[in-house]
Structure 1
């Protein structure tokens, strides 16, 4: 497992003590981490399918994110390709309401002030 993967109890971006929430924020703040989780919420996919769903993320970045998310217990490789673990699906369930909120937020930004 890569030492670059944020781990609770270890120093991470924003926290020398590695509080669990800060380790999670470090992981999810990485390029395409949330995008991968969001895309896998609709079902498993092969590397190439996931790359297409993520609007052409580079193979290098996608590979790195998949390794980090797998090492963190959020993603696993199954029969249909990569998929969310139960823990990853639980995280998505908490993140999913941000989808509706972001749509309302975007509409508010477009409305005349």
Structure 2
């Protein structure tokens, strides 16, 4: 499975527009969860696996490779960590989290 990147064909778009590539990448099972877990601290492979409900090692390995190829995650002596670009993405998503909370309140009524 190839990593969705800007200027390439991605699921839902043949234009290669960057926003569609990031939606494809984050929409793949576990990728957003991995980003979420790494947002607060670096984690070892096993630690990340435990935080992600014990996903299989092969799936975690594939997802880490995708996020690394997309330059969102990198490996350190402490384990896996978000790159500056990955941290920037997570900060960019903060307003979306706020919007989702408002949406949840509206839908729950």
- Into which bin does the TM-score normalised by the smaller protein fall? 0.7 to 0.9
Greater displacement, 90-99 / 9-18: 90-99
TM-score with structure 2 setting the length: 0.88
Look up the SS of the partner of 2:87 in the other structure.
helix
1:108 is displaced (CA, Å) by 4.9
Which structure 1 residue ranges, 4+ long, deviate > 2 Å from structure 2?
96-111
Deviation (angstroms), 1:100: 4.6
* Long gaps (5+) in structure 1: none
Q: 1:98 to 1:58 in 2, by over 3 A?
A: farther
Pairs within 5 Å for 1:1-113: 4-106=2-104, 108-111=106-109
Q: Give the unaligned 5+ runs of structure 2.
A: none
Q: For 2:49 and 2:95, how far apart are their aligned partners in 1?
A: 24
Give the C-alpha shift of residue 54 in structure 1: 1.1
Query: What is the aligned residue count?
Result: 109
TM-score, normalised to structure 1, is 0.85
Deviates more, 1:96-105 or 1:28-37: 96-105
Give the drift of 1:57.
Answer: 1.7
CA RMSD of aligned residues (A): 1.7
Displacement, 1:98? Answer: 4.0
TM superposition shift of 1:97: 4.0
Tell me the secondary structure at the aligned position of residue 83 of structure 1. strand
